[in-house]
Amino acid sequence: MKNVILPKHPDHTIENKRQVNANRNTVYKAVTLAGHLSKWWGPNGFTNTFNKYELKEGGLWDFVMHGPDGNDYHNQSVFIKIEEPKVVVFNHIVPPEFQAVITLKKITPEKTQITFQQVFETAEACAKLKDFCLEKNEENLDRLEAELEKMK
């Protein structure tokens, strides 16, 4: 996968949106600081071990998601765009390959809209995972909201 922003064709993109009761800077910290991110990343029941976390363009994020089923899921991503406190883009470089775009939009001083997009290189790859990812991404956002509550 190239280190460029992929075009967002509707049939290549899975998108979840959520408005949260937290200011954009706090949400950005929850999304980008390893100590917070490791607590909420992934669907319900998952925990994480971060092996390497380099939050910079070109930086590597290497981690293992430990599933409630006892299985471990190795993940690697490369950060390709970081605009504090607005956007984080990374390429998930192990199967399934996709580009993640996390956008944080200030609604009010204490409300932020989070848009989480997974952009795939083909419509087929997107369609294969769409129903599963839409549901699991909502669980992920639920966990993010719980972390934001702890950060208050």
Identify whether the C-beta of residue 46 lies closer than 8 Å to the C-beta of residue 70: no
Identify whether the C-beta of residue 70 lies closer than 8 Å to the C-beta of residue 64: no
Q: Which helix (H) or strand (E) holds 24?
A: helix 24-32
SS3 14: strand
pLDDT of residue 79: 97
Identify whether the C-beta of residue 45 lies closer than 8 Å to the C-beta of residue 71: no
Nearest CA to 19 among 126, 91, 104? 104
pLDDT 10s per residue in the chain (152 long)? 667 777 778 899 999 999 999 999 999 999 999 999 999 999 999 999 999 999 999 999 999 999 999 999 999 999 999 999 999 999 999 999 999 999 999 999 999 999 999 999 999 999 999 999 999 999 999 999 999 999 98
pLDDT of residue 44: 97
pTM of the complete model: 0.95
